């Protein structure tokens, strides 16, 4: 990466890798903003190399891949601008379609930190949100802080208390890194939350804009470093996958910027 010294790419990569910049949409937005500056100065001759570099940092989420495919194809600043604009407008549209699902006085459980899920949840009236800590990187803490700042009643719980608190929950709302034929890819632990919701017959909503539709043949589930685990046990193998895939049968509906869709409809959009 030496040739990109002083371009800001190294810092961007570092911040995405360390999760200082996290959440599928934010990663895509920050990457587009970087590319806008870079390509304005240096043109598009190294676009393939530089975007490959960016995609490899966190390979699971598809929105970055989808926007980079467009940038690689169109190779102009206007299309980068259009993508930045599109991504920054989706939350308003998600709210337009999804707001009726967030009932007054309801208790909502969420997992990790999803900008798109939060943009909807935060507009709820007199709601209480149960946020899971989300081990190992505790992005649920970012969620809880954001909710408290917005003066929303917030409860933070350890991940393993999900089932315990499910009886008090009205709906579960999470974000997504990718919407695939097999199901919803999101932060590790989403799958268990979905299974618990189903067991307790609580609606499980996924909030995701349509740039998260994933047509890639295969998906790489990012494996994070073992040092993120709270304990490393000598002699035991440490595993730290960042994401899991929730099969569609656990999902009630998907709230997008184009409307609220059933899993069947979303699957048909992936083909």
- Min separation Cβ 265 and ligand RUB, Å: 20
Q: If binding is defined by CB under 6 A, does position 139 make contact with ligand RUB?
A: yes
User: Which listed residue (39, 112, 209, 214) is catalytic?
Assistant: 112
Q: Which of 218, 239, 215 is nearest to 227 (CA)?
A: 239
Sites for ligand RUB among residues 26-55 (CB under 6 A): 26
Q: Which stretch binds ligand RUB (CB under 6 A): 21-29, 79-87, 161-169, 260-268?
A: 21-29
- Min separation Cβ 113 and ligand RUB, Å: 6
Beta bridge partners of 184: 179, 246
Query: Which residues, at least 6 apart from 122, have a Cβ–Cβ distance to it below 8 Å?
Result: 146, 147, 150, 152
Indicate which single residue of 98, 124, 175, 183 sits in contact with ligand RUB (rule: CB under 6 A).
175
For residue 240, the Cα-to-chain-centroid distance in whole angstroms is 18
Q: If binding is defined by CB under 6 A, does position 177 make contact with ligand RUB?
A: yes
Cα–Cα dist 143/165, whole Å: 18
Tokens of 123: 């507009």
Residue with smaller CB distance to ligand RUB, 27 or 39? 27
Q: If binding is defined by CB under 6 A, does position 172 make contact with ligand RUB?
A: no
Q: If binding is defined by CB under 6 A, does position 66 make contact with ligand RUB?
A: no
Q: If binding is defined by CB under 6 A, does position 130 make contact with ligand RUB?
A: no
Catalytic residues: 112, 177
- Chain residues binding ligand RUB by CB under 6 A are 19, 22-26, 61, 112-117, 139, 175-177, 186-187, 242
């Amino acid at each position: 990466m030496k040739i990109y010294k002083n371009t800001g790419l190294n810092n961007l990569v570092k911040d995405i890798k360390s999760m200082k910049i996290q959440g599928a949409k934010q990663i895509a937005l920050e990457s587009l903003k970087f590319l806008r500056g870079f390509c304005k100065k240096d043109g598009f001759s190294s676009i393939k190399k530089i975007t490959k570099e960016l995609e490899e940092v966190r390979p699971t989420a598809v929105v970055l891949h989808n926007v980079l495919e467009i940038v690689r194809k169109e190779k102009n600043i206007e299309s980068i601008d259009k993508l930045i604009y599109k991504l920054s407008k989706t939350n308003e549209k998600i709210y337009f379609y999804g707001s009726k699902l967030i009932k007054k006085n309801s208790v909502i459980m969420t997992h990790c930190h999803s900008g798109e899920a939060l943009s909807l949840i935060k507009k709820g009236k007199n709601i209480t949100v149960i946020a899971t800590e989300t081990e190992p990187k505790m992005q649920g803490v970012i969620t809880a802080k954001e909710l408290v700042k917005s003066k929303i009643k917030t409860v933070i719980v350890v991940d393993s208390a999900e089932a315990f608190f499910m009886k008090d929950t009205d709906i579960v709302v999470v974000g997504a890194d990718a919407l695939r034929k097999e199901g919803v890819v999101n932060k590790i632990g989403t799958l268990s939350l979905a299974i618990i919701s189903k067991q307790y017959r609580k609606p499980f909503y996924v909030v995701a804009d349509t740039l998260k539709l994933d047509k890639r043949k295969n998906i790489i589930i990012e494996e994070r470093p073992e040092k993120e685990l709270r304990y490393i046990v000598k002699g035991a193998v440490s595993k730290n996958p960042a994401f899991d895939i929730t099969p569609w049968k656990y999902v009630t509906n998907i709230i997008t910027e184009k409307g609220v869709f059933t899993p069947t409809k979303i699957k048909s959009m992936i083909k």
